[in-house]
Amino acid sequence: MNTVSEIDRLLDLMPASGRMWTKLVSAPNQSQVIAAKFPLPRSQVRAITINFDLWEKLPQPQRDLLLLHTVCWLIGIRWFKVGLYEGLAAVGLSGMAVELLLGDVAGIVTAGGLTVVAISRIWRKNRGVQPLQDADEAAIAVAKRRGYDEADAVRHLLAGIESVAQLEGRSLSVTELMRSQHLRSLTGPLPVDLI
């Protein structure tokens, strides 16, 4: 597989926001087929690393859907958006600043506790299974715009999740099993020969 031409093809496949915020990097020594680190709040470009030696063993539709899932997951993580927990974190931080100026230990502890709870909820909201399932749905929507039928896109993503686990020499994780179950629920039961 020509790595440069495959990267060009994958860049064409991505949504425009994916091309702006993500970067494809060849990682021949990594044990994972495709990987992306959880983006920190201040990261400008989010790297997706691909082991092209393993990548070429997957059929093209599975590669397409796996890449789209990863891109949609990365661009779907937003640290700074207006929401309940973001507002509570801001209130907690400003409360801590005021209480520090006043020197009220009980106020500092209370405001600090509120801040910690709000930030931990934001962290869990971004790190749980739901963002991955949302990325699956977004990947299917992008695939439909790229000419895939919805049922085919679901089938290819399901097969891709299983193929990646086999290539990496491991069994499906609990998160991957939950994603697979969610994908199957999107289009209803698929015939056995399609799964």
pLDDT at 1: 75
* Alpha carbons 96 and 120: distance in angstroms, whole number: 17
pLDDT at 158: 95
Query: Are 161 and 66 in a shared domain?
Result: yes
* Alpha carbons 31 and 171: distance in angstroms, whole number: 14
Cβ atoms of 49 and 29 closer than 8 Å: no
Query: Are 38 and 72 in a shared domain?
Result: yes
pLDDT at 88: 87
Query: Are 8 and 92 in a shared domain?
Result: no
pLDDT at 79: 66
Query: Are 147 and 59 in a shared domain?
Result: yes
Query: Are 58 and 33 in a shared domain?
Result: yes
| Two tokens, residue 104 | 């009220």
Domain end: 127, 158, 186, which one?
Answer: 127
- Of 85, 88, 86, 113, give the one whose Cα is nearest residue 99: 113
- pLDDT tens for 106-135 read 989 999 999 999 888 877 777 788 899 999
Query: Are 189 and 155 in a shared domain?
Result: yes
pLDDT at 38: 85
pLDDT at 89: 87
Half-sphere exposure of 77 (CA within 13 A, CB side): 27
Buried b (16+ CB within 10 A) or exposed e, 9-37: ebeebbbeebeebbebebeeebeebbebe
Query: Are 57 and 142 in a shared domain?
Result: yes
Query: Are 21 and 73 in a shared domain?
Result: yes
Query: Are 117 and 50 in a shared domain?
Result: no
Query: Are 186 and 161 in a shared domain?
Result: yes
pLDDT at 193: 53
pLDDT at 191: 55
Residues of the chain with pLDDT under 50: 194
Query: Are 137 and 188 in a shared domain?
Result: yes
Cβ atoms of 45 and 18 closer than 8 Å: no
* Alpha carbons 147 and 149: distance in angstroms, whole number: 7
Number of domains in the chain: 2
Query: Are 123 and 135 in a shared domain?
Result: no
pLDDT at 86: 80
Domain extent for 108: 84-127
Positive or negative, the CA dihedral 17, 23, 27, 31 is negative
pLDDT at 143: 95
